[in-house]
Amino acid sequence: MLLSLLCAVALLLSAPNAWSQSESTTRAQGPVPVADLAEELLGAVVNISTSQRVSGRRSTPLPNLPEGSPFEEFFEDFFNDDSDRDGPSRENSLGSGFVIDPEGIVVTNNHVISGADDIDVIMTDGRSFPAEVIGRDEATDLAVLRIVPDTPLQAVSFGNSDDLRIGDWVLAIGNPFGLGGSVSLGIVSAMNRNIGAGPYDSFIQTDAAINRGNSGGPLFDLNGSVIGVNTAILSPNGRSVGVGFAIPAATVETIVTQLIDFGETRRGLLGVNIQEVTPDLVESLQLDRPRGALVSVVNDGGPADEAGIERGDVIVRFNNRAINVYSDLPARVAQIAPGTEVPVEVIRRGESLSLTVVLALRDGEGGEAAVIEPGPEPVSLLGMELSTVEEAYELGFEMDEGATGAVVTVVFSDGPAAAKDIQPGTLILEVGQQVVETPQDVVDRVDALREEGRSQILMLVQDNEGQSQFVALSAD
């Protein structure tokens, strides 16, 4: 009995130490072991060195040093070498890229090679090859290079970025600050980020360390597939603060394939203008929450028009993928080749409709929203005064020929219209998703919506520059 008791005490005393050793071992290994994976992938990631011939004085700025600093004279000598002050010089930059074809096809960012006279791709084993540009796309900041290697290269393939979830582990490999193949580990912090970089913003956000020189390098999942191209960082000091952005592989693969096949991009065109579904529009659009892309203009005769998409529809799914925020839609459309039939789901006046659209070839020419016909009578409501198109023209407002609707001629500073920044000269085209042709139509429709108990009045308006968008005005 005494022996059993002593053994039990010994186990209790040793247990915390055993747990501590186990926890210590786990912590020493880190959250995810990636050494083997990194070793497998490093050979496919390359450094990209570019140079550009410039003329005139040296463009490198002198560091901001305190006046009278003992280093001032040294830096002046270093940065202002008289030998080439007035002659031509070369500017060099470094970035990253990755091989997708053993025969020498390399993907990088367009901004890494933009303006370069010479481009060299440097392998991890030190070999260097001159590169030619197969194609580039400024809108998505992607470029494809070709080199001619002496032996087949190690290559990597694209994964499915649509399967990524917030919290998934990812691996970034690149050339930060010109240091060569560097590996950093992190997680997916967010998806579908819009950072104002262009028309197809829909970035993967990661806290894996990304710095200058990482641009164009791959972001891998733990299967070793490329699920993004590291492109930008958000930082007050130009260094990684754990907020980096990568172009999703779903976008990259489509653009890269087109650049290889055609030397240019051939994006699909849907033929609509869209806007964000803000919380104050939810009730009027009969949605359960802010989501999707609100169609403010349907180009006459375009793919969306032919498919039956209407102004005021909210596109919530495109090609069987959810449109969570309006910026998702341009990126989704750009990933699909012209001529492709695509299923589209829209919410129209609270009902879900399934449509099919055949995308056209984007050529940079936008259509105009259809317009209606004139009528009389000025009225006041919702903090604004309305007139017919003819009356507005007589008052000095510039109106497009054939324009119809109710024209805002006065906006009162303390009313609902002013709160939504509606300006004099704005043309009201629809109220509650019904076309209005006169100011009286606006009054009648607003009264009807108030009787239905609506607290927000949804209007389609066209500003002085011809841009249309939906706004929701308080009915009070």
Active-site residue set: 111, 141, 215
Task: Assess contact for 309 and 346: CB atoms under 8 A.
Answer: yes
Calpha distance 390→394 (Å, rounded):
6
Beta bridge partners of 338: none
Task: Assess contact for 172 and 186: CB atoms under 8 A.
Answer: yes
CA-CA-CA-CA torsion sign (72, 75, 80, 82)? positive
**Amino acid at residue number 45:** V
Calpha distance 235→231 (Å, rounded):
13
**How far lies 206's CA from each of 47, 195, 247, in Å?**
21, 13, 11
Tokens of 283: 């009730």
3-state SS assignment for residue 172? strand
Name the nearest CA neighbour of 176 among 252, 235, 260, 100. Answer: 235
Residue 244's Cβ-side half-sphere holds a number of Cα atoms within 13 Å equal to 34
Calpha distance 8→14 (Å, rounded):
10
Calpha distance 153→174 (Å, rounded):
17
**Amino acid at residue number 184:** S
* Dihedral, 60, 61, 63, 69 alpha carbons, nearest 10: 110
φ and ψ of 132, to 5 deg: -110, 150
E runs forming strands in 426-467: 427-431, 434-435, 456-462
Strands 434-435 and 118-122, by their bridges, are unpaired
Which of the 8 DSSP states describes residue 198? S
100 Cβ contact list (under 8 Å, min separation 6)? 106, 107, 155, 156, 157, 158, 226, 256
Strands 105-108 and 142-146, by their bridges, are antiparallel
Task: Assess contact for 452 and 445: CB atoms under 8 A.
Answer: no
Calpha distance 95→176 (Å, rounded):
8
**Amino acid at residue number 443:** V
Tokens of 317: 């799914």
284 Cβ contact list (under 8 Å, min separation 6)? 432, 433, 454, 456, 457, 458, 472
